[in-house]
Amino acid sequence: MKIICVGMNYAQHNQELNHKIGEIEGITVPSGTSETESVIGSWNPTIFLKPDTALLRSDWPFYIPDFSNEVEYETELVVKINRLGKSIPERFAHRYYEEVTLGLDFTCRDLQRQLKAKGLPWEISKGFDSSAFCGEWVKLKDLGIVREDEAPVPSEKTIQDLHFEMQLNGETRQVGYTGDMIHSVDKIIAYVSRFYILKMGDLIFTGTPAGVGKLSEGDLITAQLEGRQVLECRIR
């Protein structure tokens, strides 16, 4: 099982962390400028992996690691792959998932900054043990999404029409809409499958909207997908 993650997939999140749109490819147009849209067309999704040991059981708390003083939450839509696929055309990508949830990409922000400043890989700041948390899985049809391969008349609603919210200790911190993604779920799947065979059970974290922040012991994270609570995680 692979945990595939997408970075910098919401423009407002890029602004809050002062990311440059497409900086991995050497494109240096700042996010939020008038040139952003023209750059996006030539910018591929930014992909990184977490090992399977990063997956935290849904009934366990998250323990803040002792190697970081600035662990942050990032709430994301997560897609579960349901069949084997390689080099999947974007127009067929929707056939490779039927369940989604919300997840937490725990990030050691201080460690990430230090490694990036030195030009070093920063996977350990994202892929450490228990750094990925998934909520309750929900079938797309239960969210009102019916696809053309499932019914004679598909619904107009797609995976790019989902709203989600996250609260920290009852206070709303992140509000997301999948239609604001820079790279759609289907584009991500098509791109990733060029490099990695996708297997049943692989998880794709699709990126976080603005509002990320630091965690402290005793915090409680809750999150809702289309108004349905699917995630609760206690911080220790």
pLDDT for 177 equals 98
How many distinct structural domains can be found in the chain? 1
* Residue 20 belongs to domain spanning: 3-234
**Beta partners for 164?**
176, 225
Taking only the tens place, the pLDDT of each residue in 41-76 is 457 999 999 999 999 999 999 999 999 999 999 999
**Alpha carbon distances (Å) from 94 to 7, 189, 222:** 21, 9, 28
Taking only the tens place, the pLDDT of each residue in 221-236 is 999 999 999 999 999 9
Count how many residues are written for the chain. 236
pTM of the model: 0.89
| Average pLDDT estimate for 89-106 | 98
What is the C-alpha to C-alpha distance for residues 221 and 208, in angstroms, rounded to an integer?
Answer: 15
- CB burial of residue 135 (10 Å; 0-12, 13-18, 19+): buried
Structure token pair of residue 7: 């970075």
Q: 40 pLDDT exceeds 90?
A: no
Taking only the tens place, the pLDDT of each residue in 185-220 is 999 999 999 999 999 999 999 999 999 999 999 999
79: CATH: 3.90.850.10
